[in-house]
Structure 1
């Protein structure tokens, strides 16, 4: 199957009153696991490469090209997305490389500067048929730069979407990045008001810290794209640690990495099914 557009995945989920999983790629093994989860469940998945991940690997192209190749070779509907690019030029390069969508994160900028730079990325995305996600209202916890109590204002969100033309909007509604415990409380009323205020799909970042039932309630309220990274990383790491504890003499890294990959397949599949289950009423 060819690479799937993020737009089509989000449109289908929103029409069904459900959401889709957008899971972060850390290395090739996580990309393989996420594609396998989509194939096992028959559900679409969005593979995300963050600016931080690409900085770790030292360049955009090698990991991006490999991830795109996996998506194109899969029998499942798989999109590839650039996550949290604070560098607008990186977002433009990802568009040129053939990503399904990109997120330009100008949340640290003031409103006017965020709008101006986001519009530049959207213009390039529109020309290439690539959806652009943006962020308004800082999501707590990222690099210690954001306050967890920040919330996205619906009126400001409507203005931002109208002025920029973005295809999806990441909103601050109570979640926080890199949470290891699932204790976050979402503002469901705010999610519903944002859903009514803007015409594009809403994105939840920092979903690793949100309990299952709260995520489902958030989807019912209007969330369409659910980003998960830390939660799946923890499954990978626990499985690797357990394998090493059980096999202290192992030296072939494929053995314990495979244990981590298998754990991610199972949990990613469970999350995809969870996100696809809500049915919004009214």
Structure 2
């Protein structure tokens, strides 16, 4: 595989990398109030398969990882890094339990013949914080899992390709930026403006973005956590009724799936999907 990989966040999605949730059986202290949340593994598998079918039926090739029994969060393929036009950025997980995923995904990208064009090693960076606002502008969240040192490392390494990097903070305890900001189409985003800095919001407005609002109370419900397919389409989940209606009012065709059990594991559709090709 060579040439242009991922041009931006909303170009037609051609190919993705995912990992079945075979070992996503328990999430300690994930429930609200800090309770253990037990996960129905068979139901998670069915939900994941439904999502895979949704992609394939809309012309997206799905590459599946072989899950590692020691990596219970590996299903969230998005987080090991990010793909850009020239290749991919290898991230650095902040929490110890996820660090083993880095080598597993690095080997897979090598197998897929996608070159590594930047690597985060001193700081921390996870792919759920990464967005291409356009072909040359990267927005990188600095919330719980990505830090300033990680953003600076990436900025220095991608500068040779002409990318601008914009760091984005949040007043809310979200793991990643994709919990409160999500690009659905060119100049169209689902966003919780209550928890994002005014400088970022003003920049979006200056670029003529149309913003679909999600209330702070729905952040943990993953109302922002969707996946753009390009060509005026997006994948969302069935219970996200208000956002889905707003997207349809903007002319977006919404493909609905049910991933309510996977939510218990702490992530959504966007978290489980790593784009390999958008052009």
TM-score range, shorter chain: 0.3 to 0.5
Whichever structure has more strand as a proportion of its residues is: 2
Whichever structure has more helix as a proportion of its residues is: 1
Larger radius of gyration: 1
| TM-score (ref. length: structure 1) | 0.35
Between the two structures, name the one with larger relative contact order (CA 8 Å, sep ≥ 6). 2
